[in-house]
Chains A and B, each alone.
Chain A
């Protein structure tokens, strides 16, 4: 069974940093591209970042470009999102998703990031 488990969320002050992790299991992680998607409270879904299976290709949404960094460790079956210079508007639940046949076929349960002073 495919499982994606996010962690690392929490309360952080504006301007601060957090590193989110996504632990993958139930599939050969290294074969798949992965994404981060977020959802602000009471709002819709926003794609943030993509990383290819080889880490050769990386993309970011304009809203996080230059502040967030996606990475992966295939040996540890893990996906990461380093978030710097956090703003109030970054408050959201952050999901990791697998990219396969179509897009975003599996999602984690999400981790909540709250940016507030």
Chain B
């Protein structure tokens, strides 16, 4: 089973400042089709998860461009260029390369200082 490790666990951020979340996988997520199966999800308080990013760096429709994903192989990052109040919530990375099972990181809670 691929283990997904996120850091930090909690991320207090000042409004308008950048934020960065790290995710590491225990195996490479690169597939033979050329895609790397790493997704990022946002879960706002009291809501269901919403996918933000797929294949490392592709933003889903409607996702603000202040969110960006990067990385390769086993090391990935989600960045928020300027945090807004609506960005508060828990962020999860997830791998879809070596399944079953699909595996999620433990989550990073983003809160406003």
Which A positions have Cβ atoms within 8 angstroms of B? 35, 44-47, 50, 59-62, 95, 101-110
A109 to B46, CA, bound (A): 10
User: Does B110 sit at the interface, judged by CB under 8 A?
Assistant: no
30 A-B residue pairings within 8 Å (CB atoms): A35-B102, A44-B92, A44-B104, A44-B106, A44-B107, A45-B94, A45-B104, A45-B107, A46-B104, A47-B100, A47-B103, A50-B99, A50-B102, A59-B99, A59-B100, A59-B101, A95-B48, A102-B37, A102-B55, A102-B58, A103-B102, A104-B94, A104-B96, A104-B102, A105-B51, A105-B60, A106-B51, A107-B49, A107-B51, A109-B48
What sequence of 0s and 1s flags, for each residue 37-75 of chain B, a beta carbon within 8 Å of any chain A beta carbon? Answer: 101010000001111001100101000000000000000
- Chain A residues in 8 Å Cβ range of B104: 44-47
Q: Which of B48, B50, B96, B106 interacts with A103 by CB under 8 Å?
A: B96
Q: Which of A45, A59, A110 has the most CB of B within 10 A?
A: A45
The answer to whether B101 and A61 touch across the interface, beta carbons within 8 angstroms, is: yes
Which B positions have Cβ atoms within 8 angstroms of A? 35, 37, 39, 41, 48-51, 54-55, 58, 60, 92, 94, 96, 99-107
How far does the Cβ of B56 sit from chain A's closest Cβ, in whole Å? 9
The answer to whether A107 and B50 touch across the interface, beta carbons within 8 angstroms, is: yes
A114 to B36, CA, bound (A): 36
